[in-house]
Amino acid sequence: MSSALGFETLAIHAAQPPDASTGAVIPALHLATTYAQEAVGQHKGFDYSRTGNPTRSVLEATLATLEGATRGFCFASGMAAEDAVLRGLRPGDNLLIPNDAYGGTWRLIARVYGEIGVSATPVDLTRSDAVASQWKPSTKLVWVESPSNPLLQVADIGAIAEIAHELGGWCIVDNTFATPYLQRPLLLGADAVVHSATKYLGGHSDVVGGAVLTSDPALCEQLGFIQNSAGAVPSPFDCYLVQRGLKTLAVRMERQCSNAAVISDFLAGHPAVSRVLYPGLASHPGHALARRQMGGFGAMVSFVLKGGEAVAVETARRTKLFTLAESLGAVESLIEHPARMTHASVASSPLAVDPALLRLSVGLESVGDLISDLSQALG
């Protein structure tokens, strides 16, 4: 299918024409674990469902199209997707990681890869020059989150990818917060995009999944090999749910972004709030870059309470429509306390989060109701 088609069209039609034998308008859910062979080694492209599954193949092809990649590889979770990329690292290798990376990413890199002698250097990726100055002869890649979790910092993906390439390494972008609807890192120069499909791609808090999209032949070979050899693959039903979520990604993002913009303005004017972190605010240090690099500012909003940790924890307890829960990116709005929840694993590390910080994942509810909820919770 021509990639000149619009995003919404591709999300609904790319790699998923009506079924040739039945006319069914959505891809079939193929539960088979194995596939008949006409003769030894002669089959229709599938021999065992860990290695390849038709429902997964459709999702991999759709996601690759949406991110502008030649190949897609789906995994059982975002962490399994990250792990498949990091498996290319060897003892003695180094990587650069954002100084406010998702806590689970830090845990995987510092504790699992750290154990086998891979070192990680936290870097302020809002300063692209820091990438060059922190790069060591042993550095193999820079890991980018933009906007980052939970501080919503914006990194210049094009500039960082250029530096990484000049220095002979890879630029890998976790595009979970932005989604390909708002930002396409591969077109900006990145080598691979990683997703927690659990978030906006699935969009309904009912599936855990992950994906890596890339056009780099060496990465494709590594990812295909790890996917099959380590076997952290998603079930066909999980793939079906993400595929279904993708069809409404564009409209969900539009409304969630506009709700988030209204909420960030409300919070910015609230006397209990000392700082709002949302790239859509003109006061955000990454605002101009986000405007250039993204098609919208996203639907994640973090804010700092003047009253400190106790007030932050109490505010999170008091909201009624904003459910107090981990995760993000679905139709329902969520609130969480990163220091004690999603980012507890970075406590006392260089990535430790301000305990007065709260993070919102803004959903699709009526924005007036969301504001009333925050207003009563903030007191």
Residues near ligand PLP, by CB under 6 A: 77-79, 102, 104, 145, 149, 174, 176, 196, 198, 208, 210
Q: Which of 174, 191, 238, 373 is catalytic?
A: 174
State the sign of the Cα–Cα–Cα–Cα dihedral 155, 156, 158, 162. negative
Please state whether beta strands 300-305 and 273-277 pair in parallel, antiparallel, or not at all (unpaired).
antiparallel
Q: State yes or no: is 102 an active-site residue.
A: yes
Nearer to ligand PLP, 11 or 208 (CB): 208
Nearer to ligand PLP, 62 or 77 (CB): 77
What is the token pair recorded at 87?
């498996």
Can you give the C-alpha Rg of the chain in angstroms? Answer: 21
Q: What single letter denotes the amino acid at residue 60?
A: E
CB of 59 to ligand PLP, least distance (A): 15
Q: Which of 56, 71, 93, 102 is catalytic?
A: 102
Q: State yes or no: is 216 an active-site residue.
A: no
Nearest residue relative to ligand PLP (C-beta): 78
Nearer to ligand PLP, 209 or 236 (CB): 209
CB of 156 to ligand PLP, least distance (A): 18
**Intra-chain end-to-end CA distance of the chain, in Å:** 53
Q: Which of 50, 255, 291, 340 is catalytic?
A: 50
Q: Which residues pair with 141 in a beta bridge?
A: 95, 170
Nearer to ligand PLP, 102 or 322 (CB): 102
Q: Are 55 and 29 in contact (CB under 8 A)?
A: yes
Q: What single letter denotes the amino acid at residue 23?
A: G
- Which residue in the block uniquely carries the two structure tokens 């994906």? 211
CB of 201 to ligand PLP, least distance (A): 10
CB of 174 to ligand PLP, least distance (A): 5
Q: Which of 56, 71, 184, 199 is catalytic?
A: 199
Q: State yes or no: is 199 an active-site residue.
A: yes
Could you give the CA distance from residue 99 to residue 104 in angstroms, rounded to a whole number? 13
CB of 133 to ligand PLP, least distance (A): 25
CB of 260 to ligand PLP, least distance (A): 16
Q: From residue 135, give the alpha-carbon distance in Å to each of 63, 92, 110, 124, 224.
A: 31, 14, 17, 13, 28
- Which residue in the block uniquely carries the two structure tokens 């699992």? 112
Q: Of 117, 63, 62, nearest to 90 (Cα)? A: 117
Residues listed for the chain: 379
Nearer to ligand PLP, 126 or 149 (CB): 149
Nearer to ligand PLP, 158 or 209 (CB): 209
- Which residue in the block uniquely carries the two structure tokens 């000149």? 4
Q: State yes or no: is 174 an active-site residue.
A: yes
User: Where in the sequence numbering do the catalytic residues fall?
Assistant: 50, 102, 174, 199
